[in-house]
Amino acid sequence: MKRKSLLALLLYSTLFSPLTGQDLFEQSNDSLVQEIDETYRKGLGFLAESQEERGCWTDSSYGSQPGVVGMAILAFLARGDDPEFGPYRLYVKRAINFLLKQQNQKTGYIGNSMYNHGFATLALAEAYGLTNDLRLGPALEKASNLIVSSQKSNPKGGWRYSPESQDADSTISGAQLVALFAARNAGIKVPEEAIEKGKAFLLSCQDSNGGFGYTAASGANLPRSAIGSLILSLAKETNTDAYRNSVDFLKKNSQFGDQGHQYYSLYYTSQAMFRASPSLWNSWNSQNFKRLQSTQTENGSWNGNYGQTFVTSAALLSLALNYRYLPIYER
């Protein structure tokens, strides 16, 4: 059999076949496809085995943070498991229950930082779009409203560590914007003004080289630039110079790992490459998989900063575009 690219296989499945992304992997004879799925299943096995009964993880101080739990939920959902279906349904259900218990019922705030809130809201949005859990709609609406109200009181038009912050940075702002896009995709009303103001703040952080800085247009690095490029793509700004320049920056700087933020970088860069072009994605995907396959531990996890749960979830999500289950991954 002539080897087809993963993207070609997935496009064929999406356009011409009733197979799901998971079916595609299970039925394909392509060895690379099978290897990716085997690696992914090993990672999910680690997350399942190490989960606490209350739905979180305790491998580090980060494992019980709502944002990390949210990323683990996304990793399960991305291969087709949800609270009602799949071999990992119990673990997804536990994690969602844990996340809902962390939400302040009055304000909608989840956790103790906007980092946590952004990733937790994204998980709620993707779960809401894929399941019939009636609790998720109201929880997602409250969480999304908190993001919008926080922005309204921020003179920068973005977000930072707390809902009351008066300054902003590109990483936390990016997390809130992705969550808002996902919530809107799931049917939650999100003011266009919130998207536009958040996008304007991110553009104020874009350097002349096309990359994105942290709080201003300097000091661009790979993860922040991948966030900026992803947001511009989600905002349908792909015909702008700003977006084209961001893709050029990624082409020149898409080295694997970014000092202490290696897996965080993989998580966002994979999405940005997928949205940039099929050729960029195919090259990135193949290299990313080979590297992750060689560094995966025997128990299915990966090691790095912020604990095995975060690192493993981020690594898996950098491969999850191969399934294209999550609504936020649709082009």
State the residue range of the domain holding 309.
6-236+246-329
pLDDT one digit per residue (tens) for the chain, 331 residues? 333 334 334 433 433 333 444 444 444 447 888 999 999 999 999 999 999 999 999 998 999 999 999 999 999 999 999 999 999 999 999 999 999 999 999 999 999 999 999 999 999 999 998 888 999 999 999 999 999 999 999 999 999 999 999 999 999 999 999 999 999 999 999 999 999 999 999 999 999 999 999 999 999 999 999 999 999 999 999 999 999 999 999 999 987 555 568 999 999 999 999 999 999 999 999 999 999 999 999 999 999 999 999 999 999 999 999 999 999 988 7
Interacting residues of 85 by C-beta distance below 8 A, sequence separation 6+:
none
Token pair of 109 as six digits:
């705030």
Tokens of 240: 């702008």
The answer to whether residue 241 is domain-embedded is no
Task: List, in order, residues 6 or more apart from 79 with CB less than 8 Å away.
Answer: 21, 22, 40, 41, 44, 86, 320, 323, 325
Tell me whether residue 84 is in a domain.
yes
> In this structure, how many other beta carbons lie within 10 angstroms of the beta carbon of residue 330?
10
- pTM score > 0.85 for this model? yes
Q: How many domains does the chain have?
A: 1
Q: Is residue 316 part of a domain?
A: yes
3 state SS for 297-325: CCCCCCCCCCCHHHHHHHHHHHHHHHCCC
CB 151 within 8 A of CB 176: yes
> Quick check: 209 and 177 in contact, CB under 8 A?
no
Phi and psi based region of residue 50 (left: phi greater than 0; alpha: psi -120 to 50; beta: remaining): alpha
Angle ∠(220,306,108) on CA atoms, nearest 5: 85
What is the residue type of 66? P
Q: Is residue 257 part of a domain?
A: yes
CATH number of the domain residue 312 falls in = 1.50.10.20
Q: Is 206 a member of any domain?
A: yes
pLDDT for 30: 72
pLDDT at residue 12, rounded to an integer: 34
Q: Nearest-5° angle of CA 144, CA 223, CA 63?
A: 60
Question: Packing angle between helix 31-50 and helix 308-319, nearest 10 degrees?
Answer: 150
Distance CA 274, CA 34 (A): 20
**Consecutive H or E run containing 124:** helix 114-130
Is 1 inside any structural domain? no
Whether 146 is covered by a domain: the verdict is yes
Q: How far is CA 15 from CA 78, 278, 288, 321, in A?
A: 19, 16, 26, 16
Q: Is residue 28 part of a domain?
A: yes
